[in-house]
Structure 1
């Protein structure tokens, strides 16, 4: 039987992707006590990185937000594994850091990363409210337009 969080995801029309394998020498998450650190996730659609490119250089804020939402769902897939398959164990989203591949004149990184933050609050309610940074960068792995990492607390 699905728990409250899985039911909420379904209610929102959201599905978790398969947890992706690391592409380099790192692990997808680390658990220290009740804290889970999830490695940065790039957005994927149909098995490929999407969106690609730069905000301010052809990728719209709305497309970037959709990508950030997909990054958050990818983090949840790893978090589910870290929580022994039970997302109801997630007590709180503590912090997210979002990276936005941007042209030098683009300065709306916070709006882009709202795609992940808004999804966290939609899924977890007040427990989804978190500290955050949104950082513009010149490039991300695989030409991803966004990447998001997170820190979560488990019950």
Structure 2
């Protein structure tokens, strides 16, 4: 009886290990690349926008990219402008933050060549051009965060600050900075 139970335990463990391995293999096969996720979202990356002053889009220190602030640049090369709480709704601010994310992803694509080299979106600082009594900055910057997770999956989850600012350059609605860890 004991031998039968041991044999049964061995078969059960092998079956469970096989099932686990199968799930891992399926998840690996089904995992989408960032480029595939962009395609699925219907996003075509623009050319990486050039800095508007004396700075660069990003600086690499070891395996970290410190990316300069990007604003909500639209496809017609104009920005979403105005103050949240006065000129723009939370929904419009969310879209502005999403456009800033697309601008950063375009820079990453230019810098890295392959977005699979992104190991982790580490830290995001979202600045919202808003009135003194506006307090929904996190809801606005969710437009940025949500897109990073949609494109990079768990690698897109990050630490974040979302702050209100009384004015941003050119009266843009949002500006976002990001630190990204990359694979060699």
TM bucket normalised to smaller: over 0.9
Q: Which runs of 5+ in 1 are unaligned?
A: none
Q: Whose strand fraction is larger, Structure 1's or Structure 2's?
A: 1
Aligned twin of 2:43: 14
Can you give the 5+ residue segments of structure 2 that lack an aligned partner in the other structure? 1-31
Q: Tell me the number of residue pairs that the alignment of Structure 1 and Structure 2 aligns.
A: 151
Separation (CA, whole Å) in 2 of partners of 1:33 and 1:15: 29
Query: TM-score by structure 1 length?
Result: 0.94
User: RMSD between aligned alpha carbons?
Assistant: 1.1
Residue 49 in structure 1 maps to residue 93 in structure 2: no
Runs (4+) off by over 6 Å: none
**Pairing of 1:85-104 with structure 2 (within 5 A):** 85-104=113-132
Measured against aligned partners, the alpha-carbon deviations of 1:4-60 in whole angstroms (never above 9, x if no partner) come to 21111010111212111111111110011111111000111111012x100000200
Q: Per-residue deviation at 1:82? A: 2.1
**Structure 1 residue 93 displacement after superposition:** 0.5
Contact 1:40 1:148 in 2 (8 A): yes
The answer to whether residue 160 in structure 2 is matched with residue 132 in structure 1 is: yes
TM-score in terms of structure 2 length: 0.80
Q: Deviations over 1:92-130 (max 9, x none)?
A: 100110000000000000000000000011111111110
Q: Radius of gyration: which is bigger?
A: 2
Q: Which has the higher helix share?
A: 2
Q: Which residue of 1 aligns with 2:147?
A: 119
* 3-state SS in 1 of match to 2:179: strand
